[in-house]
């Protein structure tokens, strides 16, 4: 009889990742080590290094736990996504990424590729390079933000009327949750502070109905200048009409777009420069505690891990009145986003870690909403897999006392 196709279950049960590497890729007598590996590496070297096939992302399908075919690619792609059916391959690959002493030794092959590329002595460079392209890239520096973040290009790519990556699903999520919080939910007061505004206004359109003053802020002068253009009705300002219209419809005033824009302009009192990573993010400016701090698509940009995210939340407490509100909305499980050709890293966050961070920072969580990303188009531009909204409160001092006595 014809041989049958090996089932997935057999792969899951019987495929030994390490044994495969030893049998096929071992230095001296691996079955693929000579002729086949040379064939692959020579053709990929010609394609990537000499042939000009290059770009942002290379997806390697069915990687197993092997790296030999990715070595030339790591020179010409910013990121490499590896994939496989089997967890055991992922685990074995991970060992190599983490320089685990028990990881498979690919030195003989790395050496060969280095020689092909005319860099016989650069084995370490090539393997480190491959590791960084596969692993999460390091956190984007503030200097990179200052040099490379183009405010106008960000708005067009993410909030453009026709095809902005955030225009439908993300924006709907934000304006719906903020409408419920501000207009229906009774969160209101004297001052709202928006942290990491960028040059965006969409998340402030409901807030302007229930706060007397809005302070906006960002790390970048570039964003302040672009925001200012909108306030001043500069003909070159970004056109937010499509989103203003959606919010007006949500509020039952479909035709009042101009009035809404006017109202928001009149409530925005200042644009401050801030840095989330400073203990006092507005230093040297003194900001009195506010009724509500809003933060939309920001904290995953500067924070390198959840510890740092939690630190930022702790520092925010000095900016919020006792009993005041903290509203954070952002993407889940993201690693990066692009503005033009420039890549910016994102901290990958999830429900459990986020809630832990809010609690550890001393907030009471009033409401948390999580939703998966439904439309995956634009994934190559921004790779968030879901979205979250957390409404938390800074406890009043009496509440802190009760909590400390476990009451």
Ligand X SMILES: C[S@@+](CC[C@H](N)C(=O)[O-])C[C@H]1O[C@@H](n2cnc3c(N)ncnc32)[C@H](O)[C@@H]1O
| Residues found near ligand X in the complex (CB under 6 A) | 145, 149, 196-198, 200, 218-220, 223, 274-277, 296-298, 301-302
Nearest distance, CB of residue 160 and ligand X, angstroms: 12
d(CA 358, CA 318): 15
Q: What are the two backbone dihedrals, phi and then psi, of residue 114, each rounded to the nearest 5 degrees?
A: -60, -40
Nearest distance, CB of residue 163 and ligand X, angstroms: 16
Looking at the DSSP assignment, which residues form a beta bridge with residue 364? 393
The full 3-state SS of 369-380, as one line of letters, equals EEEECCCCCCCC
Pairing of the two strands 211-218 and 336-339: unpaired
C-beta separation of 27 from 108 below 8 A: yes
Nearest distance, CB of residue 43 and ligand X, angstroms: 39
Task: Kindly provide the residue ranges of all beta strands, DSSP E only, lying in 49-136, ordered along the sequence.
Answer: 55-60, 77-82
CB-side neighbour CA atoms (13 Å) of 199: 28
Nearest distance, CB of residue 174 and ligand X, angstroms: 8
d(CA 73, CA 71): 5
Nearest distance, CB of residue 292 and ligand X, angstroms: 16
CB nearer to ligand X: give 112 or 149: 149
> 3-class DSSP state for residue 114?
helix
CB nearer to ligand X: give 71 or 243: 243
CB nearer to ligand X: give 23 or 241: 241
CB nearer to ligand X: give 146 or 402: 146
CB nearer to ligand X: give 287 or 301: 301
Nearest distance, CB of residue 184 and ligand X, angstroms: 22
d(CA 224, CA 196): 11
CB nearer to ligand X: give 197 or 206: 197
C-beta separation of 188 from 113 below 8 A: no
Instruction: Give the nearest residue (CB) to ligand X.
Output: 198
């Amino acid at each position: 009889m014809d041989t049958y196709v090996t089932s997935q279950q057999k792969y899951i049960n019987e495929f030994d990742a390490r044994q495969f590497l030893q049998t096929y890729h071992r230095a001296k007598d691996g079955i693929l080590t000579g002729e086949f590996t040379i064939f692959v590496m020579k053709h990929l070297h010609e394609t990537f290094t000499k042939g000009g096939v290059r770009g942002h992302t290379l997806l390697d399908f069915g990687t197993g736990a092997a790296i030999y075919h990715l070595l030339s690619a790591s020179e010409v792609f910013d990121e490499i996504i590896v994939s496989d059916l089997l967890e055991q391959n992922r685990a074995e690959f991970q060992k190599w990424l983490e320089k685990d002493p028990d990881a498979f030794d690919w030195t003989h092959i790395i050496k060969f590729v280095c020689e092909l590329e005319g860099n016989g002595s650069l084995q370490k460079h090539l393997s480190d390079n491959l590791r960084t392209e596969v692993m999460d890239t390091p956190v984007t520096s503030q200097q990179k933000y200052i040099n490379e973040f183009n405010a106008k290009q960000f708005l067009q790519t993410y909030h453009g009327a026709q095809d902005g990556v955030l225009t439908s699903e993300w924006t709907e999520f934000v304006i719906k949750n903020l409408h419920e919080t501000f207009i229906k939910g009774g969160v209101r007061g004297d001052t709202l502070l928006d942290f990491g505004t960028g040059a965006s206004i969409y998340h402030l359109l409901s807030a302007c109905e229930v706060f007397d003053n809005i302070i906006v802020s960002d790390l970048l002068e570039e964003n302040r200048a672009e925001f200012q253009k909108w306030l001043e009705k500069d003909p070159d300002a970004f056109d937010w009409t499509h989103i203003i219209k959606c919010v007006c419809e949500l509020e039952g005033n479909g035709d009042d777009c101009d009035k809404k824009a006017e109202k928001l302009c009149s409530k925005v009192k200042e644009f401050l420069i801030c840095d989330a990573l400073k203990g006092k993010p507005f230093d040297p400016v003194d900001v009195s505690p506010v009724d509500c701090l809003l933060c939309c698509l920001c904290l995953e940009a500067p924070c390198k891990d959840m510890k740092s995210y939690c630190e930022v939340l702790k520092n925010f407490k000095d900016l919020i009145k006792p009993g005041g509100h903290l509203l954070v909305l952002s993407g889940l499980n993201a690693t990066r986003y692009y503005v033009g050709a420039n890549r910016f890293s994102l901290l990958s966050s999830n429900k459990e870690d986020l809630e832990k961070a809010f609690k550890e920072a001393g907030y009471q969580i009033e409401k948390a909403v999580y939703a998966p990303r439904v439309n995956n188009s634009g994934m190559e531009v921004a790779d968030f897999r879901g979205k979250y909204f957390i409404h938390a409160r800074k406890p009043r001092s009496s509440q802190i006392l009760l909590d400390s006595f476990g009451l």
